[in-house]
Structures are given as structure tokens and as C-alpha cells.
Amino acid sequence: MKRLTTSAMALALLANTAAAEGELVIYHWFEYIPAELLEKFTTETGINVTMDTYDSNEAMLASLKAGGMGTYDVAVPGDYMVEIMTNEGLLDTIADGELANKGNIAAEWANPAFDPGRTHSIPYQWGSTSFSVNTEDYDGDINTTDILFNPPKEISGKINMLDSQGEVLALASLHMGIPQCSNDREQLSALNDMLQEAKTHWASFNSDTAKEVLVSGDVSVGMIYDGFSAKAREDRASIKYAFPTQGYVVWMDNVVLLKDAPNRDSALAFMDFMLEPENIAAVSNYARYGLGVKGAEEFLDPELASLPESNPPATAGAGAFIAVCDEATQAVYDQIWTNLKN
């Protein structure tokens, strides 16, 4: 777990300001928000920010359930994880009128199935999860999930997978053409067998260095988020993001208000701050993902609209959100993941 504070990042900036009016503790994805934006929040509000980071939705959930509740004020889970956290009673309810900028939420993200009416969350960033290939090492067709799960010999043993159960198993289900929450024993057995065979071709499970191992050439293929891939391509032009014909994962990350947040008012202030178009645009310009707030277009880097990582070709399969399974079915998928990681 990594921790940073705005006091450390902006000591000189804050030295001459008034004493902080409050505190805020954020649980956040790694390398996903510019430090300058947290400094701006502190300068505008007087609220000091402390931030811990995680590298997967599942790691975040496990940490909160293992004692993190009551420590953090907000977290940034993906769409399916918001639903899971709601079902497990981990989120507080945002009452009508508590967010002055709630009306800035774009219509398409204002009433999502995973949080109807946005009673627990606000939109943060959205994008896709697929994989990227260093075309210096492999110049064949990359737009197929065979690259990960039945790779050609040129890249066997040179593949990094995200250490993220939801995304790996969702992409594997798309590869096999089966439902994400299948309870068909034959399908589940075949999924497990396929993954066990595919694992023999993989070099590593790693999320927080997914970009770096591609740029360095330590691997030829890496499962990765589209924004990370765009950053990797800036450092190494031969890296290309794949849109498989079988489909790929899409997601929406969200800022949620945690139950028992020790600094609830500060949490709401932060959520309102992130609903300001200029502020959420700063995240997109840094992370290279889409956003869910109206009026942000004028603040966005024009290059974002034309990124190849954000524009699937006509041959791409459909994007799919990660499904939330019932408890019994999820237990089977948990065991498949455990088998894969052992």
C-alpha cells in the first residue's frame, strides 16, 4: 500500500496558508490522479488530503473488509464493485441536496444500473481493459484474445496479466464465448482448464507495473487499461492496444462515500470538487481516460478524442461490463481464481 499526503507534496505551497479546516482520507487506484489536483483541493478548501492506493477492485474490497472501514472517507471502485459494496452495506447514502454539483453529471452516467440515482457515488473515469502488444516482437494479428489465452510461440512466456480477478475472468469468459456468471459445470470446468493451460504461457501477474514492463521490453504482451496503454505508447511507439474480435472489458470508475467515513463533510466537498468540469478534466488529461461530467470538453486535451486506444475499429467485438454473480456462483469463480494464482 502506498501513501502520500498533500502536506508532503505541497509543503511550500501550504506553508503560508491558514490552518486546515479538515482532513480527508482517500483510498484510490495507483497512478490515477495528478498531485497538483489534490494540492488545488487543499488550497481551495483548507482540507488536508491523505491517500492510500491499491491495484485492483478486489484488493480494495478485501482491505476495507479487513479493517479499513472507518479509516477512509472515499474510495474509487469500478462499476461492478460499487454494486457489490452497496449489497454488503459498505457505502453511505448521499442525500438529496448534499452535492451542489450533482447536476453536472452527464445524462448517460446519471442513473447507472450499478447505482440507480447515484445515491452512493459520482462518476470518475471510464475506459476499457484489453491488452497491448509490442509489435517489434510480434507483427501478426493482435485483435484476438488468443494472444493471451492461446498465444503464438513468439510471445509464449512473455505475457503479463493484470492481478485483477474481475477483469481476467471476464476477458477469459469472452474468449470462450460463455456467460460471465455461468453456473454450467461443464463451462466452468472448461474455463478452469483453459486458464490453467494459458498460465503456462504467462510470465507474471502484475497490475501496478503493467505499463513499465511493456515499455522496458521485459514482456511482449501485457493485459492493460487503455489509458495506461496510451501512456506506454508515448514512451515506446511500437506498443499497440488490441480490440479483440471476441470483445473486451469496459468499465466506469466512481468516487463512493464510504460508510462510517470519519470526515464525511470533507468527503462530500471532495466529490463536489470532482464534479467541477475543469477538475475532472485534469484527471482525464493526466490518466488518458473518458469522464462523466458535462461541460468538461473545453478543458480536455484535444488529442484525447483521437487516441487509438479510445477508438475501437469496426472489427472489434462488443465491450462488456464485468457482471456481478450471485453468492454461490461467485464462490466458484473465486476458487477458479485461487487455482490460477497458486
Residues 222 and 313 in one domain: yes
pLDDT of residue 112: 98
| Bridging pattern class, strands 204-205 and 159-161 | parallel
Residues 161 and 198 in one domain: yes
Residues 14 and 142 in one domain: no
* Residue 238 CA: distances (Å) to CA of 136, 157, 162, 235, 274: 6, 19, 20, 9, 34
Range of the domain at 18: 2-126+252-304
Residues 153 and 260 in one domain: no
For 275, list phi and psi in degrees, rounded to 5: -90, 0
pLDDT of residue 1: 56
pLDDT of residue 3: 55
Residues 76 and 141 in one domain: no
- Could you give the CA distance from residue 222 to residue 204 in angstroms, rounded to a whole number? 9
Residues 268 and 206 in one domain: no
| CATH assignment at residue 299 | 3.40.190.10
Give every CB contact of residue 119 below 8 A, 6+ residues apart in sequence: 93, 94
- Could you give the CA distance from residue 327 to residue 188 in angstroms, rounded to a whole number? 15
> DSSP of 157-218, one letter per residue?
T-EEE-S-HHHHHHHHHHHHT--TT---HHHHHHHHHHHHHHHTT--EE-STTHHHHHHHTS
pLDDT of residue 21: 62
Residues 8 and 35 in one domain: yes
Residues 75 and 143 in one domain: no
Residues 214 and 321 in one domain: yes
Residues 183 and 277 in one domain: no
- Could you give the CA distance from residue 224 to residue 311 in angstroms, rounded to a whole number? 16
Residues 79 and 39 in one domain: yes
Residues 9 and 106 in one domain: yes
Listed as ranges, residues in the chain with pLDDT below 70 are 1-21
pLDDT of residue 130: 98
Contact 241, 54 (CB under 8 A): no
∠ at Cα 180 (243, 146), nearest 5°?
40
Instruction: Output the pTM of the full model.
Output: 0.93
Q: How many domains are there within the chain?
A: 2
